[in-house]
């Protein structure tokens, strides 16, 4: 196959050693780590750079300073995760943080430096040290574009833009002397440009599809964050875990033209203050760390004050810092706000919480393996145990990098194992027709996102969750009927996946009878210490 972006012909069947679904930091890192072994296909639902990585502003948490320590980073992560992190996974991830940063630098990523030419480290909520290495306030853009350039220079990697995954191909093995297992051997994919379904067969499939924050009405995430990998894995027979823990970023720009623009945590790390409309501070009333409290506490505090005062937003004020400092450290935010008529060197930024990160996901082990043999998950799509009940700022890109290496190392060990793949059947669309009611998809999309915001949002209750469950069940019935009878579209696939993930989120939330981290319920407002270290795990029924 030729390298660069590819368009397959109608009903193509392609064979690769590894198929990676997703083209963010997790997927591209896996591709680069495996490029020397064999043929790699990277599938991107939209343009190759588009995804959550591109929009990550703050940076990457790593132990790089002599006054910092692995033990301190581990401790901060465990505290932020509210005693629900897997300590072994936290220690594994943090201990490989310097190696991950060095790998990025070796691939050409340029990080900001201080006046003494040392890498500049900033501090964010939940961290007790300056350990966030960054590229001004557009770290994700620097990482993403550098990795895209790197994969384009690898002849063994083929890139497929505008390809939307439909379902994973699996085969059950219940032969004698073996425990019943399920094997992955490829995936059905909608080519959005040809409007045909292609088959990608491979020895290994890596899910690197990101999170599911588009399930909510207000989110900082790009449109592609529709929970595809979680739904794909669930339908293939994989367990999921901790999907009740959805992080709401405390500070998204509140403006009709802002289009989900995120205001980085680093502004608070550099002295930004949260204020009410009257200019008074409030975070010191909620937590001793005030503005540097973990994100779940800050988001709930903002939500509380908005509801108490009946206002549309709160404010984040960095204007007391020097103008040059603000422009140098936050050039993207400064310019974006200025374009909207807000000069952050002179006035506060209007902000609201918005769904930002999916802390749960497809259950994997420390090598990224799922319950299905040959199927891996890495990045936000996966539940590794790193984040627990709340992800600490800037640990997400770190997880992508460390576990991309872990997944790649495991595949490397298995590379020479003989595997005969069954031949995949072509996609059958002979009994479906074109729909003349596309409005159904759009209506259900908006209904789902609004009900999840209202009933499964920052604050929950048993009654709200039951309402959500009933409405989701009705939506699923309608979507299943629609999916069965009409030609598939990308919007329909995303809606099908989102409604599945919404159901799993609500099921997880109903099982956790306590308030912890990002899961706060009025019916169980206190934490149950007997549940420390115990994730919520849901396993699909055996077919």
pLDDT digits 0-9 by tens, 316-374: 999 999 999 999 999 999 999 999 999 999 999 999 999 989 999 999 999 999 999 99
The values of phi and psi at residue 314, to 5°, are: -115, -170
Segments of the chain assigned to CATH 3.90.700.10: 248-355
Dihedral sign for Cα 44, 379, 414, 93, please: positive
pLDDT digits 0-9 by tens, 226-278: 999 999 999 999 999 999 999 998 899 999 888 778 898 889 989 999 999 99
Q: In whole angstroms, give the CA distance from residue 190 to residue 199.
A: 9
Q: What is the pLDDT of residue 179?
A: 61
Average pLDDT over residues 526-536: 97
Nearest in space to 384 (alpha carbons), one of 36, 175, 91, 166 = 91
Looking from the CA of 94 toward its CB, the CA atoms found within 13 Å total 25
Q: In whole angstroms, give the CA distance from residue 366 to residue 354.
A: 30
Q: What is the pLDDT of residue 1?
A: 44
pLDDT digits 0-9 by tens, 100-147: 999 999 999 999 998 888 999 998 878 999 999 999 888 999 999 999
* Burial status of residue 373 (CB atoms within 10 A of its CB: 0-12, 13-18, 19 or more): middle
Q: Give the predicted TM-score (pTM) of the model.
A: 0.89
Catalytic residues: 295
Segments of the chain assigned to CATH 1.20.58.100: 439-525
DSSP-derived secondary structure for 420-442 = -PPPPPPP--TT-B--S-THHHH
Q: What is the pLDDT of residue 283?
A: 97
Average pLDDT over residues 518-541: 96
Model confidence at 3: pLDDT above 80 = no
Q: What is the pLDDT of residue 399?
A: 97
Model confidence at 284: pLDDT above 80 = yes
DSSP-derived secondary structure for 90-115 = HHHHHHTHHHHHHHHHHTT----B-T
Q: In whole angstroms, give the CA distance from residue 182 to residue 439.
A: 38
Q: What is the pLDDT of residue 117?
A: 85
pLDDT digits 0-9 by tens, 142-189: 999 999 999 999 999 999 999 999 999 999 865 545 566 789 999 999
CATH number of 248-355: 3.90.700.10
Q: What is the pLDDT of residue 427?
A: 87
Q: What is the pLDDT of residue 224?
A: 87
Q: What percent of the chain has pLDDT over 90?
A: 75
Average pLDDT over residues 412-424: 87
**462 or 295: which leads in pLDDT:** 462
Segments of the chain assigned to CATH 3.50.50.60: 8-244+359-414
Q: Which fold has domain 8-244+359-414?
A: FAD/NAD(P)-binding domain (3.50.50)
Model confidence at 449: pLDDT above 50 = yes
pLDDT digits 0-9 by tens, 66-98: 999 999 999 999 999 999 999 999 999 999 999
Structure tokens at 259: 């289009």
Task: Name the architecture of domain 439-525.
Answer: Up-down Bundle (1.20)
DSSP-derived secondary structure for 439-500 = HHHHHHHHHHHHHHHHHSSSSB-HHHHHHHHHHHHHHHHHHHHHHHHB---HHHHHHHHHHH
Q: In whole angstroms, give the CA distance from residue 27 to residue 50.
A: 12
**192 or 428: which leads in pLDDT:** 192
Q: What is the pLDDT of residue 460?
A: 92
Average pLDDT over residues 36-59: 88
Q: In whole angstroms, give the CA distance from residue 257 to residue 303.
A: 21
- Mean pLDDT over each residue of the chain, to the nearest integer: 92
Contact 299, 517 (CB under 8 A): no
């Amino acid at each position: 196959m030729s390298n660069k972006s590819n368009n397959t012909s109608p009903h193509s069947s392609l064979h690769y050693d590894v198929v990676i679904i997703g083209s963010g930091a997790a997927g591209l890192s896996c591709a680069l780590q495996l490029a020397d072994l064999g043929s790699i296909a990277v599938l991107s639902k939209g343009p190759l750079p588009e995804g959550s990585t591109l929009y990550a502003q703050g940076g990457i948490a790593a132990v790089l300073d002599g006054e910092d320590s692995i033990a301190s980073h581990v401790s901060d992560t465990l505290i932020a995760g509210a005693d629900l992190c897997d300590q072994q996974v936290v220690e594994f991830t943090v201990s490989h943080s310097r190696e991950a940063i060095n790998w990025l630098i070796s691939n050409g990523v340029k990080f900001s430096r201080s006046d003494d030419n040392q890498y500049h480290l900033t501090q964010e909520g939940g961290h007790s040290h300056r350990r966030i290495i960054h590229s001004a306030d557009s770290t994700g853009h620097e990482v993403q574009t550098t990795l895209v350039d790197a994969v384009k220079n690898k002849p063994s990697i083929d890139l497929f833009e505008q390809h939307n995954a439909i379902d994973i191909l699996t085969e059950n093995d219940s032969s004698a002397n073996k425990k019943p297992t399920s094997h992955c051997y490829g995936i059905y994919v909608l080519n959005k440009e040809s409007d045909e379904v292609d088959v990608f067969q491979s020895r290994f499939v890596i899910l690197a599809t990101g999170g599911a924050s588009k399930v909510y009405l207000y989110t900082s995430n790009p449109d592609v964050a529709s929970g595809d990998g979680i739904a794909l894995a669930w339908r293939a027979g994989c367990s999921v875990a901790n999907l009740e823990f959805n992080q709401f970023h405390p500070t998204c720009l509140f403006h009709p033209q802002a289009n989900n623009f995120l205001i980085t945590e680093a502004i608070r790390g550099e002295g930004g203050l949260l204020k009410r409309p009257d200019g008074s501070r409030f975070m010191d009333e909620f937590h001793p760390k005030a503005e540097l409290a973990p994100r779940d506490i800050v988001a709930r505090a903002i939500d509380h004050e908005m509801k108490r005062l009946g206002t549309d937003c709160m404010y984040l004020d960095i204007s007391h810092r020097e103008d040059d400092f603000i422009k140098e450290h936050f050039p993207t935010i400064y310019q974006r706000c200025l374009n909207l008529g807000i000069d952050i060197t002179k006035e506060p930024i209007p902000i609201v919480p918005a769904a930002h990160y999916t802390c749960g996901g497809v259950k994997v082990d420390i090598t990224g393996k799922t319950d299905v043999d040959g199927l891996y998950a890495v990045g936000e799509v996966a539940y590794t145990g790193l984040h627990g009940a709340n992800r600490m700022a800037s640990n997400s890109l770190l997880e992508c990098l460390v576990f991309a290496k872990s997944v790649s190392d495991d595949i490397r060990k298995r590379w020479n194992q003989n595997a005969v793949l069954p031949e995949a059947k072509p996609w059958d669309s002979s009994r479906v027709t074109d729909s003349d009611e596309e409005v159904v998809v759009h209506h259900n999309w908006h209904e789902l996102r609004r009900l999840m915001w209202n009933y499964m949002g920052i604050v929950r209750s048993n009654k709200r969750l039951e309402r959500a469950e009933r409405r989701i069940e009705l939506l699923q019935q309608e979507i299943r009927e629609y999916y069965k009878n009409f030609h598939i579209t990308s919007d329909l696939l995303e809606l099908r996946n989102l409604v599945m993930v919404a159901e799993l989120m609500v099921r997880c939330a109903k099982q956790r009878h306590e308030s912890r981290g990002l899961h706060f319920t009025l019916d169980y407002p206190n934490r149950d210490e007997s549940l420390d270290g115990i994730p919520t795990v849901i396993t699909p029924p055996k077919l």
